[in-house]
Amino acid sequence: MQVHAISWLRTGAGVSLAALALAGCATVPAAPSTASAPVAAPVSALAPAGEDQVVADLLSRMSLERKIAQLIQPQINSFTVEDMERYRFGSYLNGGNGGPNGNEFAPAADWLALADAMYDASVRPLPGGEPVVATMWGTDAVHGHSNIVGATLFPHNIALGATGDADLVRRIGAATAAEIEVTGIDWNFSPTVAVAQDDRWGRTYESYSEDPQLVARLGAALVEGLQGTPGSADFLGDGRVIATAKHFFADGGTEQGVDQGDVNGDIEELISLHAVPYPAAIAAGVETIMASFNSINGVKMHGNRELLTGVLRERMGFDGLVVGDWNAHGQIAGCEIANCPQALLAGLDIYMVPDDWKALMDNLLAQVRDGTIPMARVDEAVGRVLRVKYRAGLLGPAAPRPSERGVAGRFDLLASPQHRALAREAVAKSQVVLANDGVLPLRAGARVLVAGTAADDVGQAAGGWTLEWQGGRADQLPRSRFPNATSIWEGLRDAVAAGGGSATLSADGTFTSRPDVAVVVFGERPYAEFAGDQQDLVLRDEEGLTLLRRFREQGIPTVAVFLSGRPMWVNRELNAANAFVASWLPGSEGAGVADVLTGAVPATGRLSFSWPAACEGRPVNGPDGALFPLGHGHSLSGTAPLARLSEECSALASNSNAALVFGSGRLGQGVTAFAAPLAASGDGELLPQMRGDMSAAGVTARGYDRDAQEDARQIVMRGGSRFGLRQAQDSGGAWRISYEVVTRPTAPVSLQVGEGAAATTLDLTSHFAHAEGKGWREMLITDACAPGLGSRLAFTTQADVTFRISRVRREQVPADTPCAF
């Protein structure tokens, strides 16, 4: 393998390049290293012969319009094949809720057909002999090709970190690349090499570890798996795709774990922790790096020239392209989504601009022509894009259509037996036994009760970035969406039967024949990005706790299987269980969990994150404050009982998330959204989780970007319809609604607050008419205008109306607080 030369900024506890990029399975380190960040020499190991000449020739013959198009990356839901032919975008992406023809669940053949159509449009001859440059398609295949129905769903990165096995991760990368190429896609926005330091962050599960050296080793392995070995004939060959190391940099270090937040501290100290994985990825040949949403000491990364150019380019020697994240350039001070030369000047090469691509293109063209952006910088950025395409075999007349490449169209490779076996191996190796008083392994011949709604829910086991951006439980992603999967229940059923025993599924834990042991599967519901941010580390879904305590009272031994994207405060559950297994987010192969519980496979998983002793959520990265330290995990060769733990938790009383009805693009716990005709009684049809685009009973809810990707919803109501929200339990307090009116009503619009005969109906017609086009506003509904309030509110309309909501919450206000609209 050819690699960049690596040097270290200063001597100390550094590790060798071989340890960073090439090591295989190794024990998880006992504590994070404090080594300084490495610097790669600016010597490319990837540049094929003739690359410079090809790139220079293209740049000399491309028009300014075609050059700017190479820097624009829209999403497939916001442009057409005809747009591609007209504008010749350098790349495009599917968002987490995007799919061919607007169908996120489209069959794999439709994805391949769209790839061909876009490619063909991008290479049709141009007037005057101007050279054509093939487009490329990027996707977030972060735990397998997880946008595709029927693909293999590997465990998320936090689980792979618990394996400590770089060879396993490399093989997963290769399998993922093959499944991506099956559908004609060129580019994977993976791996995430965040060094997560605060587990309250909603993307903790995308991080391999809190330890930068482990992140570096596993991240480099995934890059090699996706792209192949640099300098070899295999590199970016058949069955390989372009990889992306993300998000540069320090995305895992934000204050209080707030997604897209600020990271504060001495820049060299931050580099020595959060930048460590990048030289390893560069050495492994990574072609692209994605800039991060977060700020460093108040400066947004997309506009941070010191880091994007000074550190990444000049100190680390990266010679691939830097791509932006979803509209993140619009967060730079002085920028808008459609107007941001600052990002290009700072070192960004491709703008990820899902919807506002036309206005951004026009502004960039004008800014080059008026001298705001030097032509040399445009050529530099376009040249980087062309180099990556050249290395990936996308330039020149010999470049094949997507359907003619490698394994494209080999739909039998999606969830092939070999790939599913690999995923099952990864699941088994990632299981971490935190405690066991001897109930594990499950005894051959035992009568096993499997309880908890998560036991037979593949969507919950797979987590976020699964078919939809936020993923979903069975109410949103039913079993039929996972034709090539085994749930944890199905895996246990088969494994127990193979051992001569019997297994029974009972979601609510009831039984007619007393079991010998109960396996309770429970945990976090799926989420992605900011939707998973928490103010503490309390698990508030108490289904698992209720079941564990009930079985303990009945004298039935229990095994807790905890599904989560991070370590959490689960002292109560640990106290109630005889054995406790951190199962993370295992994906589509639940049989791997059963392999460990039955003892068919050794329990070798070890924590790659410190497990907190307290619930409040203060960062724990090392032994101080840890209930279980980095590297903790038991085999099943003996017992590992756990002394009773404190169940004191101040955050339980505050229940900081209880009053959220809708926010960060998702419904609060125990909240349902519904739609119905005005004439209907009851709530009508549910809008499960109100994520993505969905319609029912004359109401359409679509994702909308207010401050972040799809953190709001646009509600389109037809005349004669009703749309509402209901809490399962009334949290009390006034209703505060952040809303924006897009089109005023031409007939009455009302808000019903409360239930049945006790409900209050408020006329919103004049308020909505006044608010049209005036931006975001706050509506406060108190006892002053809606006595009794209640747990339900519903908008009703006699004519079509469109409005948006970004946050709905319940809050305590003084008794005399008036309503406001």
Which sequence positions are flagged as catalytic? 325, 529
- How many C-beta atoms lie closer than 10 Å to residue 598's C-beta? 23
Interacting residues of 320 by C-beta distance below 8 A, sequence separation 6+: 286, 287, 288, 289, 384, 387, 388
Single-letter residue type at 696: A
Place of tokens 């580019």: 187
Q: 345-355: buried (b, 16+ CB within 10 Å) or exposed (e) per residue?
A: bbbbbbbbbbb
Q: Could you tell me the sign of the dihedral formed by the alpha carbons of 90, 530, 33, 171, in that order?
A: negative
Single-letter residue type at 412: D
CA torsion angle 189 194 200 202 (round to 10)? 0
Distance from CA of residue 693 to its chain's centroid?
Answer: 18
Distance CA 25, CA 170 (A): 11
Single-letter residue type at 623: P
CA angle 739, 745, 748 (to 5 degrees): 105
Q: Helix or strand or coil: residue 487? A: coil
Place of tokens 């295999």: 234
Distance CA 193, CA 316 (A): 16
Q: Which helix (H) or strand (E) holds 458?
A: helix 458-462
Lookup: tokens for 339: 């107007």
Distance CA 630, CA 625 (A): 12
Q: Helix or strand or coil: residue 13? A: coil
Closest CA to 735 of 682, 684, 687, 788: 788
Query: Which stretches of 323-374 are DSSP H helices?
Result: 341-346, 357-369
Place of tokens 């309309």: 797
Distance CA 265, CA 662 (A): 33
DSSP 564: -
Interacting residues of 49 by C-beta distance below 8 A, sequence separation 6+: none
Distance CA 750, CA 742 (A): 16
Closest CA to 3 of 25, 22, 23: 22
> Is the Cβ–Cβ distance between 790 and 730 less than 8 Å?
yes
Closest CA to 283 of 16, 519, 639, 595: 16
Single-letter residue type at 776: W
Q: How many alpha carbons fall within 13 Å on the CB side of residue 447?
A: 8
Greatest Cα pair distance, the chain, in angstroms, is 83
Instruction: Kindly tell me the burial class for residue 629, based on how many C-beta atoms sit within 10 Å of its own C-beta (0-12, 13-18, 19 or more).
Output: middle
Interacting residues of 16 by C-beta distance below 8 A, sequence separation 6+: none
> Is the Cβ–Cβ distance between 809 and 789 less than 8 Å?
no
- Cα distances from 417 to residues 171, 175, 328, in angstroms, run 14, 11, 39
Closest CA to 116 of 104, 134, 97, 141: 134
Query: Which stretches of 71-150 are DSSP H helices?
Result: 81-87, 108-122
Instruction: With both helix axes pointing from N to C terminus, report the angle between 375-391 and 51-61 in degrees, rounded to the nearest 10.
Output: 130
Distance CA 365, CA 285 (A): 32
